[in-house]
Structure 1
Amino acid sequence: MPKAAQPTFEPEAPLIRRRDRREDVEMDITPMIDITFLLLIFFIVCSTPDQKSSFELAEARHGKGVSERNSIFITVSAESADPAPVYLADGINGESLPNDLDEQNELIREAVEKGRTELKENVLIKADRNVAYRDVARVIKAVSRVEGAKIHLAVLEAD
């Protein structure tokens, strides 16, 4: 029987072969992207919208006019100040309220209560087109603290 070749070892050859350090290691990120999209879909499907803050406003062409004699006017101006300046009355004649939000809310509440004692049940809020809604919402919230006040938003009549 023929003899198997025996490996020969050279004394100068290394016993452990080292890997080349320049070898690029690539990581497949496809599963990570899949999981991200699955989580996104899960949260979109399982989330519930906040029903308290979603409401629709009536369009101006279907609105009804409000008697000015039975109304309290509050005007929100579109000046570049933050928060937007608020005036009691129509914005032309009337007093400007201070910029402190707590004091402003208290003065609005007092003015609406005073108007209610004078049998003015409607509160007409006039806001410039460029006023941020957060400023109008703040005024609405201050007015709504008075029991029985009917809030109306002033709009331009449709042609």
Structure 2
Amino acid sequence: MHSGGVNLGGAHGADDTLLARRPLEDDAEFDITAMIDLVFMMNIYFLVSFLTAAMGEIAMPTARHVAALDPDTSVRITVLGSLDGESISVYLGNGKEGEEIKDPEQQETKVREYVEKALADGKTNVLIKAEAKVQEGQVNRISLAAAVEGMKLHAGVTEIDEP
């Protein structure tokens, strides 16, 4: 039986056989499990730290160059987008107060009448509140309908949280 050694040519005894030497260099292997664990722990730490900082309240400075409109001298028109993204709903009032106007021609006519009546009642400001997803062209169309001489137009974008 061959034992894996080198035979020196003598008798086949155990004394004449040299065993093969192991290579001087071992394979370059090291255990990186601890390093991977450390990297994962650091990722978790930074993720939690970032989320905690991002979710914290931010102290915002108060605005110095704007003032809230006086409800006694202003009227509000609310413009909400629809699911299709093309059509809009107009409410003559703050939020979803009053009737919903969906027809574009009726929207312009009723907005103009509403603003003219408000001007006759002594109001001087029109605030058009539009939902963020309403296209700018739609807001401009309502703004043009509300542009009555003697009224000052104001526009704002609102995010509406619907359940």
Q: TM-score, normalised by structure 1?
A: 0.54
Q: Percent identity?
A: 36
Which residue among 76, 81, 88 is the counterpart of 2:79? 76
Q: Could you tell me how far apart the structure 2 residues matched to 1:92 and 1:138 are?
A: 20
Asked whether 1:86 is paired with 2:87, we answer: no
Higher RCO (Cα < 8 Å, 6 or more apart) = 1
Q: What one-letter code is carried by the residue in structure 1 that aligns with 2:150? A: G
- The reply to whether residue 116 of structure 1 matches residue 132 of structure 2 is no
1:155 positional shift = 4.9
Task: Provide the C-alpha distance between the structure 2 equivalents of 1:63 and 1:130, rounded to a whole number of angstroms.
Answer: 24
One-letter amino acid matched to 2:135? A
Separation in 1, partners of 2:79, 2:114: 15
Structure 1 alignment gaps of length 5 or more: 1-60
Question: Is 2:115 the counterpart of 1:150?
Answer: no
The letter for the 2-side match of 1:152 is H
Residue-pair matches, total: 95
Distance 1:68 1:142 in 2: 21
3-state SS of 1:77 partner: strand
SS in 1 for 2:92: strand
Residue 106, structure 1, aligned to residue 109, structure 2: yes
In 2, the alpha carbon distance for the partners of 1:89 and 1:135 equals 18
2:141 aligns with one of 138, 141, 148: 138
TM superposition outliers: structure 1 runs of 4+ over 4 Å: none
Q: Which amino acid aligns with 1:74?
A: I
User: In structure 2, how many angstroms separate the alpha carbons of the residues matched to 1:129 and 1:67?
Assistant: 24
Q: Give the C-alpha shift of residue 97 in structure 1.
A: 1.5
Amino acid in the other structure paired with 1:93: E
Q: Which sections of structure 2, spanning at least 5 residues, go unmatched?
A: 1-62, 159-163
The amino acid across from 1:110 in the alignment is E
2:113 maps to a residue whose letter is E
Contact kept, 8 Å, 2:79 with 2:134, in 1: the verdict is yes
RMSD: 2.0
Asked if the contact 2:91–2:101 (Cα under 8 Å) also holds between the matched residues in 1, the reply is yes
Q: Is the 8 A contact 1:125 1:153 kept in 2?
A: yes
Shift in Å, 1:92 = 2.6
Q: 1:127 and 1:143 mapped to 2: Cα distance?
A: 14
